[in-house]
Amino acid sequence: MSAVALPAPATRGVRRTGAAVVLPLATVEARRLLLHPVMLAGIAVFLVHTISSTLTDPTPRTAFSAVVDLPSFVPGVFAILAANLVASRDVRAGSVEMLTPAPARPAPRVGALCLAGLVPAVLMQALVLVLWAWHLALERYVDPPTAAHLLQGPVTVAGACLLGVLLAVWVPTRATGIIALVVMVALNVWLGGREGAVELFGPMVHWPEWGLMFARDWVGFIPGSPGWHVVYLLGLTAAAGAGALVRVSDRRTPAVLATLAALALAVVAGIAQLP
């Protein structure tokens, strides 16, 4: 059974709460998420594109994109749909009532889904570090990416997963994940095409600047703070997770306050990242 559920009516008996339920459920949901066909497709596209482009075009542009830009886009956008489908499966199937006897209330089940959404991000971070070490050993960087650059992709993947869970809890329809995927891609493309520092408010930021000759000559980094950008993404990610818990918590005030605090962090970091 998937862990998502709408706010459940009061039930009799004792339900286990805390790590005794959340961690085992998170393990199961993480496995389902990683093995979901959409997530597997996203990881496969990322690996195939990265390896093929690295072998056919071993330039600094390709090396930097492989560990900074591409992880945000693939499997980032795939993660939205995969997490949404995993989290909303029971609601879409009309089997939510089967979760009533489960030894966990809705909030721990949704919390488990949020924890499960962090696992693809950890996997992506491992892949990014392997690719970074590979390109570094081959001396393909002019200016190597910083730690903040290397965190952008995995944090974006985590945010995408928690966004999928948030939408599954609040709007559990089959089309929600697809619409969110399209909107996020369109928004990032629009922000990336704007003049000035507006691009920094998109999840996927192209940090390097490249010269006009085949767009491969290294110029430097665009103005802005990669570190604060990661904090900005973390704020949005935390807000998505807390926002999902608002829908199912027995005591909504802490979840609402956590959501507002995460959004405030995102606003502060969003301003701080600007040049």
Q: 273 near 225, Cβ under 8 Å?
A: yes
Q: What pLDDT digit, counting tens, does each position of 143-198 carry?
A: 899 999 999 999 999 999 999 999 999 998 888 989 998 999 898 888 876 767 88
Q: Which residues contact 180 (CB under 8 A, 6 or more apart)?
A: 80, 81, 84, 163, 164, 167
Tally: H helices and E strands in the chain? 12, 2
DSSP secondary structure letters along 176-238: HHHHHHHHHHHHHHHHHTSSGGGGGGSSS---EEE-SSTT-SEEEEPSS-HHHHHHHHHHHHH
Q: What pLDDT digit, counting tens, does each position of 91-143 carry?
A: 655 544 444 445 457 888 899 999 999 999 999 999 999 999 999 998 888 88
Residue 32: its pLDDT value, please?
A: 94
Q: Which SS3 state, helix, strand or coil, does residue 9 take?
A: coil
Q: 232 near 91, Cβ under 8 Å?
A: no
Residue 5: its pLDDT value, please?
A: 45
Residue 33: its pLDDT value, please?
A: 95
Q: Which SS3 state, helix, strand or coil, does residue 10 take?
A: coil
53 token code pair? 């482009």
Q: 188 near 204, Cβ under 8 Å?
A: yes
Residue 249: its pLDDT value, please?
A: 87
For residues 147 and 216, which has the higher predicted lDDT (pLDDT)?
Answer: 147
Q: What pLDDT digit, counting tens, does each position of 40-94 carry?
A: 999 999 999 888 888 888 888 888 989 998 898 888 889 999 999 999 876 655 5
Q: pTM for this structure?
A: 0.86
In this structure, of 6-20, 137-151, 241-255, the range with the lowest mean pLDDT score is 6-20
118 token code pair? 């962090």
Tell me what percent of the residues of the chain surpass a pLDDT of 90: 52
Whether the per-residue pLDDT at 10 is higher than 70: the answer is no
Residue 134: its pLDDT value, please?
A: 92
Residue 91: its pLDDT value, please?
A: 64
For residues 191 and 212, which has the higher predicted lDDT (pLDDT)?
Answer: 191
* Rg of the chain over all Cα atoms, to the nearest angstrom: 20
Residue 107: its pLDDT value, please?
A: 86
For residues 22 and 270, which has the higher predicted lDDT (pLDDT)?
Answer: 270
Round to whole Å and give the CA distance between 39 and 33.
7
